[in-house]
């Protein structure tokens, strides 16, 4: 299933994407939180049963929003989680927090839930006073239920599905504050979408490819198998001392090819367009203003 939240002439609705159509499963006053509620309940069959009877709309007639328009809490993110990217970041001069080129343990931080935007929403570079806005195409993991002390072998029991994320970053703010919360939490710096794909639709997770294009130029391209710390390790690490909740989103890290990896750096500017493609998850495109 592909779970989505959309705006239909200003009215928020929730449901599924099937081919080139949106199947409306909830248009009540609670539609904004319907996808999150579906994840928490785990009752996917309720929406599946509506496939033949629910009203439909062509995707060209609606606006797709972030699948969970209001996250339960801040996004959980992983830094320097691809080997080549870890080196390019370390060598860039913007890495003010680590002495290791390749991290020996997962680097965990959070991204403000208020940064969240959906497909085709604009990334606003004017908010960053330093003019150092960068892109980071990533695979997001959506948690299905409360998770504590999860062993690696049991990780799939706690995954609901997957989604595309762009961990947009102000590099100068990231460096200036010696941590990543401010540099990554600016308003509009959290594109997500276009939908959440349930885990049963993913046949080969390691071979899923992440590709980022800026103005149709390929900048990033890697497979999930290239992660330094794989998804089972991340879930085990995060739940060893803490708790994950249904609807939490984990951004698993970005591959080599971000703007600071170029000399000189290729920062985003007004008029640019960023597109992230992930195998089986569709495409997430955002203009830059």
pLDDT in tens, 114-124: 999 999 999 99
Backbone phi, psi, residue 146, to 5°:
-55, 130
Let me know whether 176 and 80 are in one domain. yes
Provide mean pLDDT across the span 235-242.
97
Count of structural domains, the chain? 2
With cut-offs at 50, 70 and 90, classify the pLDDT of residue 43.
confident
Cβ contacts of residue 71 below 8 Å, gap of 6+?
113, 116, 247, 249
Let me know whether 80 and 164 are in one domain. yes
Average pLDDT, the chain: 94
| pTM (2 d.p.) | 0.95
3-state SS assignment for residue 243: coil
Among 284, 269, 217, 248, which residue's Cα sits nearest to residue 73?
248
195 within a domain of the structure (yes/no): yes
* Percent of the chain residues topping a pLDDT of 70: 95
**Structural domain boundaries, residue 49:** 2-64
Let me know whether 56 and 82 are in one domain. no
**Which pLDDT value is given to residue 93?**
66
* pLDDT at residue 213 tops 90: yes
Let me know whether 173 and 261 are in one domain. yes
Return d(Cα 203, Cα 185) in angstroms, integer: 33
Let me know whether 151 and 44 are in one domain. no
Q: Are 180 and 147 in contact (CB under 8 A)?
A: no
Domain boundary among 64, 92, 111: 64
Let me know whether 44 and 88 are in one domain. no
pLDDT tens sequence across 158-204: 999 999 999 999 999 998 887 789 999 999 999 999 999 999 999 99
Let me know whether 28 and 141 are in one domain. no
Choice between 80 and 101, residue whose per-residue pLDDT is larger: 80
Return d(Cα 130, Cα 146) in angstroms, integer: 39
| C-alpha 36: how far from chain center | 15
pLDDT tens sequence across 70-93: 999 999 999 989 876 767 766 666
Among 247, 255, 250, which residue's Cα sits nearest to residue 276?
255
Return d(Cα 21, Cα 9) in angstroms, integer: 16
Let me know whether 40 and 143 are in one domain. no
274 within a domain of the structure (yes/no): yes
**Which pLDDT value is given to residue 140?**
98
3-state SS assignment for residue 69: coil
Q: In what order do the strands lie in the sheet with 209-214?
A: 217-223, 209-214, 273-278, 282-287
* pLDDT at residue 98 tops 80: no
The CATH number of residue 206's host domain is: 3.90.850.10
Choice between 238 and 92, residue whose per-residue pLDDT is larger: 238
Let me know whether 98 and 233 are in one domain. yes
Cβ contacts of residue 21 below 8 Å, gap of 6+?
56, 57, 58, 59
Let me know whether 121 and 193 are in one domain. yes
* pLDDT at residue 59 tops 80: yes
Return d(Cα 138, Cα 247) in angstroms, integer: 17
Let me know whether 258 and 119 are in one domain. yes
* pLDDT at residue 99 tops 80: no
Q: Which helix (H) or strand (E) holds 184?
A: helix 181-184
Let me know whether 18 and 98 are in one domain. no
* pLDDT at residue 96 tops 70: no
**Which pLDDT value is given to residue 102?**
82
For the stretch 76-99, what's the b/e string if a residue is b when 16 or more beta carbons lie within 10 angstroms of its beta carbon? bbbbbbbbebbebbbebebbeeee
Cα–Cα distances in angstroms (integers) from residue 26 to residues 6, 14, 17, 61, 137, in the given order: 11, 5, 13, 17, 30
Q: Are 2 and 197 in contact (CB under 8 A)?
A: yes
**Which pLDDT value is given to residue 175?**
87
Do the strands 249-251 and 75-79 form a parallel or antiparallel pair, or are they unpaired? parallel
**Which pLDDT value is given to residue 180?**
82
Q: Which residues pair with 272 in a beta bridge?
A: none
* pLDDT at residue 6 tops 80: yes
172 within a domain of the structure (yes/no): yes
Residue whose pair of structure tokens reads 């370390």 in the numeric block: 90
70 within a domain of the structure (yes/no): no
pLDDT tens sequence across 243-287: 999 999 999 999 999 999 999 999 999 999 999 999 999 999 999
């Amino acid at each position: 299933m592909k779970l989505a939240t959309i705006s239909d002439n200003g009215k928020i609705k929730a449901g599924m994407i099937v081919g080139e159509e949106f199947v409306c499963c909830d248009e009540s006053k609670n539609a904004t939180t319907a996808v999150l509620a579906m994840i928490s309940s785990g009752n996917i069959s309720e929406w599946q049963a509506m496939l033949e009877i629910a009203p439909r709309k062509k995707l060209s007639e609606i606006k797709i929003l972030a699948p969970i328009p209001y996250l339960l809490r801040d996004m959980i993110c992983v830094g320097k989680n691809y080997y080549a990217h870890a080196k390019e970041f370390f060598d860039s001069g913007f890495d003010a927090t680590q002495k290791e080129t390749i991290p020996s343990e997962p680097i965990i931080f959070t991204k403000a839930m208020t940064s969240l935007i959906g497909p085709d929403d604009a990334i606003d570079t004017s908010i960053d006073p330093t003019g150092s806005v960068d892109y980071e195409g990533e695979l997001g993991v959506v948690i299905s239920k409360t998770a504590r002390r999860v062993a690696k072998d049991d990780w799939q029991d706690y995954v609901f599905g997957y989604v595309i994320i762009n961990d947009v970053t102000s590099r100068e703010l990231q460096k200036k504050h010696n941590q990543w919360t401010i540099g990554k939490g600016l308003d509009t710096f959290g594109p997500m979408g276009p939908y959440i794909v349930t885990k049963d639709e993913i046949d080969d997770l390691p071979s899923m490819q992440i590709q980022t294009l800026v103005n149709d130029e390929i900048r990033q391209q890697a497979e999930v198998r290239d992660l330094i710390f794989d998804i089972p390790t991340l879930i085990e690490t995060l739940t060893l001392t803490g708790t994950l909740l249904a609807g939490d989103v984990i951004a698993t890290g970005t591959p080599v090819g971000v703007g600071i990896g170029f000399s000189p750096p290729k920062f985003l500017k007004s008029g640019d367009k960023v597109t992230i493609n992930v195998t089986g998850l569709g495409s997430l495109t955002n203009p830059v203003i």
